[in-house]
Chain A
Amino acid sequence: MLKDFKHIQTAHCENGITTSLLRYHGLDYMNEPLAFGIGSGLFYIQIPFMKINNGPAISFRTMPGAIFKRTCKSLGVDVKRKKFKDHKAARDFLDLKISEGIPVACQVGVFHLTYFPVKYRFHFNAHNLIVYGKNHNHYLISDPIMEDVTTLSVKELEKARFTQGAFAPKGHIYYPENVSEPDIELLKKGIVRGIKRNVRDMLHIPGHVAGVKGIKHTSKQIRKWREKLGPKKAGLYLGQIVRMQEEIGTGGGGFRFIYAAFLEQAANNLKEDKLTAISDDFTKAGDLWRSSAVQMAGIYKGRLSEQKDFDETADILLEIYETEKLAFKKLSKLKLSK
C-alpha cells in the first residue's frame, strides 16, 4: 500500500480522480467542485445518430478525460497517459507504477466491475478508478463514487481495463506528474480560465445539439416522441434521460449543484460577490433538472401518458435552457481578473 493515500468520496468519478491524485501530490486546497469548475466540466449534448442501450445518447458533462486534463494543465501539472494493445504490458506498467509508490487512475468498463451491483452493470466504458496498491493477487482500489475503498483481483481489473464498445478503455492509465507547491495565484487563474472556457462551451459551441441549445433541442424532440415512438418507447427514452442525468452519484441535476458549489468557492477566492448570485442560478437549474426527472418518472411509470404530459416535460427543459443560458450570459459579462 502507498503511504498516506487517502480515499475521498465524490459525486462523480473523474472529479474524484482529479481531486484525490492532486491532493496526494500536495495540492491540499483541491476539492470536487474546484476540480469540476477549473476543468469546465458542465456541459450538455444530445449526440446525434447515436444510441446508448437502445435510447438517446445524452451527456450532462464534458467529454471523458477533459476535466482531469484541463484542471491539471491550468495548475501547471503534467499529465502522463498510456494505452495498450497487450494485456500483459498494461499489467506490467501498472505494477511498475505501484512499486514506484505512485497511485494511478485507470479507465474501466462498468460491465466487468464485480463490486458494482449487477443492476448497474451496463456496457459503460467511461468509469474511472484509482489503483493505490497491490496485495498478493489483488489490487487496492479507490473508486471515487464509493464511501469506502475496495479491491479487484488481477484478472478482474484486467477485464475491466479491456472492455469493448464505445469509448473502449484499451488499458488506459493516467496520472499527474511534476506537481509543484500550491500556488494561490495559479489557482485563481485556473478558476477564471475554467469559467471562461465553460461559457464558451455552453454558449458558443456551433450546431444545435450541444451547449445550452442542446437542451432546447431535446425539449423539441420530447414533444414529438409520444407520436413518433408510442407511449411505451417514449417512456423508455425519458427513463434513459433520467438515468444519464442521475447515474450513481452524478447527474444533470447533480452536476448543476456541483457547479453552483464551484461558483460559491470562486466568489470567495476571487472576492467577487456577483458569482454568489450566479451560483444561485445554477442551484435553480439543478432543482429544475430534478423536477424534470420527477415529471419524466410520471410518464415511464405509466401514471402520465397524454401529449400534454410530454409537453409539460418539454416546457421544464425549455425553462432549464433559459435559466442556464441567462446564468452563462451573466458569467460572460463579468470582468474576472485573477
Chain B
Amino acid sequence: MKKENIPQDKSALENFTRELYYVKNNNGKYKTGLSIGWDIKKDALDNAWGEVNRRIEEARNAVKEGRKSPIYFFIELNLMNISILSGYTGFWKLSVKRHLKPGVFNKLSDKKLDIYARAFDISIDELKNFKG
C-alpha cells in the first residue's frame, strides 16, 4: 500500500486516536502514516453491533415472556457469555445456566443476586425487577 492510499474515512476512532499504517513512500521504502478510519472496518464493526443489539432485544423478549431470567438479558447487554460471567461471579458455569431459569432465579438469595448485580455493574433491585 502506498501512502496516498491510506484510507481516511470517518469512524468510531474520532476523538480517540488516528491509527498507524506501514506504507510505501515514492522511493519504495517503508514509512508510517496515520488514518482516521476505513469504511470497510467501520461496516464490519457496525454489522457486529447490529447483531449484538439483535441478541439484546431477543433476550429482552425472552425475559418478558417469562422464558428466561433477567440474568440472561444482562449477559447479552454486557456482551458476555456464560463462561465470562462464571469468571466474574465465581459460580460454576452449570449453576449460571440454572440461574437463567426464571423459577430458579426467583429463589436465589440476596447474597447471590448481589454477586450478579456487581458483575453487571447494576443494583440488586435493577436486577430483580427487570421485566423485559
Q: Which residues of A contact B (CB under 8 A)?
A: 9-11, 33, 53-54, 111, 115-117, 119-120, 122-123, 145-148, 164-166, 168, 235-236, 239-240, 242-243, 246, 248-249, 253-254, 257-258, 260-261, 264, 283, 286-287, 290, 293-294, 296-297, 300-301
Does B88 lie within 8 Å of A11, measured CB to CB?
Answer: no
Chain A to chain B contacts (Cβ below 8 Å), 8 pairs? A123-B79, A145-B19, A165-B81, A165-B83, A246-B38, A257-B1, A257-B21, A293-B41
A contact residues around B87 at 8 Å (CB): 164-165, 168
B17 within 8 A of A: yes
B92 within 8 A of A: no
Does B19 lie within 8 Å of A236, measured CB to CB?
Answer: no
Which residues in window 29-55 of B have CB below 8 A to A? 29-30, 32, 34, 38-41, 43-45, 47-49, 51, 55
* Minimal beta-carbon separation of B64 from chain A (angstroms): 22
Does B40 lie within 8 Å of A254, measured CB to CB?
Answer: no
* Minimal beta-carbon separation of A110 from chain B (angstroms): 11
Cβ 8 A contact of A123, one of B39, B40, B84: B84
CB-CB under 8 A for A243 and B30, given A283-B24, A290-B1: no
Does A9 lie within 8 Å of B20, measured CB to CB?
Answer: yes
A contact residues around B19 at 8 Å (CB): 11, 145, 248-249
* Minimal beta-carbon separation of B80 from chain A (angstroms): 7
Mask of B64-86 contacts with A, CB within 8 angstroms, 1/0: 00000000000000011101101
Of all A-B residue pairs in the complex, the 3 with the closest CB atoms, nearest first, are A164-B87, A261-B30, A165-B84
B contact residues around A243 at 8 Å (CB): 41, 44-45, 48
Does B47 lie within 8 Å of A33, measured CB to CB?
Answer: no
Does B1 lie within 8 Å of A147, measured CB to CB?
Answer: no
Known: A119-B45, A257-B23. 7 other contacts (CB 8 A): A11-B21, A33-B22, A33-B30, A54-B55, A243-B48, A257-B30, A287-B1
A contact residues around B122 at 8 Å (CB): none
Closest chain A residue to B20, Cβ basis: A11
B108 within 8 A of A: no
Does B47 lie within 8 Å of A239, measured CB to CB?
Answer: yes
Does A236 lie within 8 Å of B45, measured CB to CB?
Answer: no
Complex CA gap A293/B39 in Å reads 11
B contact residues around A166 at 8 Å (CB): 83
Cβ 8 A contact of A147, one of B34, B39, B81: B34
CB-CB under 8 A for A147 and B18, given A246-B40, A246-B41, A294-B40: yes
* Minimal beta-carbon separation of B79 from chain A (angstroms): 6
* Minimal beta-carbon separation of A15 from chain B (angstroms): 10
Cβ 8 A contact of B22, one of A254, A297, A300: A254
A contact residues around B18 at 8 Å (CB): 147
* Minimal beta-carbon separation of B1 from chain A (angstroms): 6
* Minimal beta-carbon separation of B25 from chain A (angstroms): 11
Does A293 lie within 8 Å of B40, measured CB to CB?
Answer: yes
B contact residues around A111 at 8 Å (CB): 79
A contact residues around B13 at 8 Å (CB): 117, 248
